[in-house]
Amino acid sequence: MIRFILIQNRAGKTRLAKWYMQFDDDEKQKLIEEVHAVVTVRDAKHTNFVEFRNFKIIYRRYAGLYFCICVDVNDNNLAYLEAIHNFVEVLNEYFHNVCELDLVFNFYKVKENTSSGQTGQSHVFAVP
């Protein structure tokens, strides 16, 4: 089950944050900072999976953005990696060669695409 989705740039600015669990605002802020600290120090010779508190984070870096999904420990890592890639492809289709600024200026459209803790769509072309 997904706990939260976070898209951050290398400097640590949040471009998208979707929470599927109850957190206080300051807890959220702390989490964001922790995730940033953990994910930015890893380079190409590390795996894309990190143990984080009692969950794990599956992340992928696309240009200057880190797409992080925090899931339970016994979830399928590889499947979520695919999900991230799928998501990025959807964004690409929707925004036509998406870049960070698109996410910045259209964050509300991006938010609607993820819902209910599971990847709700497998259609690359149909975006509600």
Partner 1 sequence: MVASSLKLQDLIQEIREAKTQAQEREVIQKECAHIRASFRDGDPLHSHRQLAKLLYVHMLGYPAHFGQMECLKLIASPRFTDKRVGYLGAMLLLDERQDAHLLITNSIKNDLSQGIEAVQGLALCTLSAMGSAEMCRDLAPEVEKLLLQPSPYVRKKAVLTAVHMIRKVPELSDIFLPPCAQLLHERHHGILLGTVTLITELCERSPAALQHFRKALPSLQVVPQLVHTLRTLVMTGCSTEHSVSGVSDPFLQVQILRLLRILGRNHEESSETMNDLLAQVATNTDTSRNAGNAVLFETVLTIMDIRSAAGLRVLAVNILGRFLLNSDRNIRYVALTSLLKLVQSDHSAVQRHRPTVVECLWEPDASLSRRALELSLALVNSSNVRAMTQELQGFLESCPPDLRPDCASGILLAAERFAPTKRWHIDTILRVLTTAGTYVRDDAVANLIQLIGGAQELHAYSVRRLYSALAEDISQQPLVQVAAWCIGEYGDLLLEGTCEETEPLQVEKEEVLALLERVLQSQMSLPATRGYALTALMKLSTRLHGDNNRICQVMSIYGSCQDVELQQRAVEYNALFRKYDHLRAAVLEKMPLVERGGPQVDEEAKESKEVAQLSEAAPVPTETQASKLLDLLDLLDGPSENAQHPPPLDPTPGDTLIHLLDLPCAPLPPAPIPNLKVFEREGLQLNLSFVRPPGTPTLLLITVTATNTSGGDVTHFICQAAVPKSFQLQLQAPSGDTVPAQGGLPMTQLLRILNPNKAPLRLKLRLTYDHFGQSVQEIFEVNNLPVETWQ
Choose the binding region for partner 1 from 40-48, 64-72, 90-98 (rule: CB under 8 A): 40-48
Q: Which of 27, 72, 82, 93 binds partner 1 (CB under 8 A)?
A: 82
Q: Which of 47, 54, 63, 97 binds partner 1 (CB under 8 A)?
A: 47
Cβ-defined contacts of 98-102 (< 8 Å, 24+): 99/63, 100/9, 100/15, 100/63, 100/64, 100/65
CB of 111 to partner 1, least distance (A): 6
Distance CA 29, CA 25 (A): 6
Give yes or no for residue 30 binding partner 1 (CB under 8 A).
Answer: no
Q: Which of 27, 37, 93, 104 binds partner 1 (CB under 8 A)?
A: 104
Judged by CB under 8 A, how many residues of this single chain contact partner 1? 42
Give yes or no for residue 54 binding partner 1 (CB under 8 A).
Answer: no
Q: First and final CA of the chain: distance in angstroms?
A: 23
Q: Which of 14, 61, 95, 100 binds partner 1 (CB under 8 A)?
A: 14
- Pairing of the two strands 65-71 and 49-52: unpaired
